[in-house]
Amino acid sequence: MSSERRKTILDARLHDPGAFAVAAARRVQPASLFNERGRMMIIAADHPARNALRAGGRALAMGDRADLLDRLCTALARPGVNGVLGTADILDDLLLLGALDGKVVFGSMNRGGLSGSVFEMDDRFTGYDAAAIAASGFQGGKMLLRIDVDDSATVDTLAACARAVSELADRRSIALIEPFLSHRIDGRVSNELTAEAMIRASVIAAGLGPTSAYTWLKVPVVDEMERVMAATTLPALILGGEAGDDVDAAYESWGRALQLPTVFGLVIGRRLLYPPGDDVAAAVDTAVGLFGAVHAVA
């Protein structure tokens, strides 16, 4: 990041905090939820607030904010990328940099279940709420729903997610739920990445709140994705998972999932922001290329 751009952010934080609300009010709204191919290509960057800074072999990759913002600006400027998912600190920076004009924006809502903590399943809403998302002119809110039937904290997260679904729907904003069946293995939380587990998690998430009219799912690719996507009629976006070396396999799995009728796009973070070789633009372009022909949107 240039010293001038960094100074713009620091000056606002020191001397003009109201500049963030002004930037949000002036932001050019997206003409559509979808890109020119009828899909969503969302760049995810809400990991740091959950103490998840690792990307591949780099333990603190996302700990350098200027570097992360550079990568985000590069990704958001690529053709076909039409949105971003982040916490307030990151989205505020991007607003001041003018990187969110015309983009679909999701605010990340529950970041309280810090990675590696003893209270990780007590996933409280410590980020955006529905009122702040609407006031900022964003298109929706994202929430993580990890369901551990052996941990009583799960029911509080379920209740909080149900309230968020209701409050977002009241404002006609998308509630993007990322559900998992989760368990503690040797003291650490692990998500169960099987078709049966994702079916169970998806139907639980789909039933939250007084309406599902504005509810979408954010799901990983697992074996037998056809069965998983047949579990509900909710629109779905595919998540990327942690950055790894098997890049070709990741792209191949996303491409297969995009062929399913209820899958409308990708929400990818570390795999595109920190790819092997660090060529963010090339990684993003490859992901966008998976969309192929125009996808019919009702």
Residue 25 in tokens: 């009010």
Q: What domains does the chain contain, in order, with CATH numbers? A: 3-289 (3.20.20.70)
Residue 292 has pLDDT above 70, yes or no: yes
Q: Percent of the chain, pLDDT > 90?
A: 92
Identify the three-state secondary structure at position 47.
Answer: coil
Average pLDDT estimate for 197-218: 98
Structure tokens at 193: 């990445």
For position 198, what pLDDT does the model report? Answer: 98
pLDDT band (50, 70, 90) for residue 187: confident
pLDDT tens-digit readout, 208-246: 999 999 999 999 999 999 999 999 999 999 999 776 668
Two structure tokens written together for 219: 């799901």
Contact 218, 251 (CB under 8 A): no
Q: 17-50 as b/e, with b when 16 or more CB fall inside 10 Å?
A: eebbeebbeebeebeebbbebbbbbbbbbbbbbb
Residue 246: what pLDDT? 81
Dump the DSSP string for 132-167. Answer: HHHHTT-SEEEEEEEE-TT-THHHHHHHHHHHHHHH
Q: For residue 298, is pLDDT > 90?
A: no
Centre a 10 Å sphere on the Cβ of residue 193 and count the other Cβ atoms it contains.
14
Q: pLDDT at residue 1 above 80? A: no
Q: Give the pLDDT confidence score for residue 294 in this predicted structure.
A: 58
* β-pair partners for 44: 85
**pLDDT for position 293:** 61
pLDDT in tens, 124-175: 999 999 999 999 999 999 999 999 999 999 999 999 999 999 999 999 999 9
Residue 296, pLDDT score: 61
Q: In this predicted structure, which of 9-23, 33-47, 267-281, 283-297 has the lowest mean pLDDT? A: 283-297
Q: For 58-107, what is each residue's pLDDT tens digit?
A: 999 999 999 999 999 999 999 999 999 999 999 999 999 999 999 999 99
List of E strands, the chain: 40-45, 83-86, 104-108, 140-147, 174-185, 188-191, 215-219, 236-239, 263-268
- In whole angstroms, what separates CA 83 from the centre of its chain? 10
CA 267 to chain centre: 6
**With 70 as the cut, is the pLDDT of residue 279 above it?**
yes
The answer to whether the beta carbons of residues 105 and 135 sit under 8 Å apart is: no
Q: Which of 61, 43, 228, 226 is nearest to 142 (CA)?
A: 43
Alpha-carbon 260 to chain mean position: 20
Average pLDDT value for the chain: 95
Nearest Cα neighbor of 130 from 83, 89, 170 is 170
Going through 5-139 in order, the beta strands assigned E by DSSP cover: 40-45, 83-86, 104-108
Q: Which residue has the tokens 């009010």?
A: 25
Calpha distance 177→292 (Å, rounded)? 26
**What pLDDT, on the 0 to 100 scale, is given for residue 270?**
96
- Running DSSP on this structure, what letter comes out for residue 58? B
- pLDDT band (50, 70, 90) for residue 267: very high
Q: Please name the residue that has the structure tokens 């409050």.
A: 167
pLDDT at 297 over 90: no
Count of all residues that appear for the chain in the document: 298
Is residue 236 classed as helix, strand or coil in its secondary structure?
A: strand
Contact indicator for 296, 235 with CB cutoff of 8 Å: no
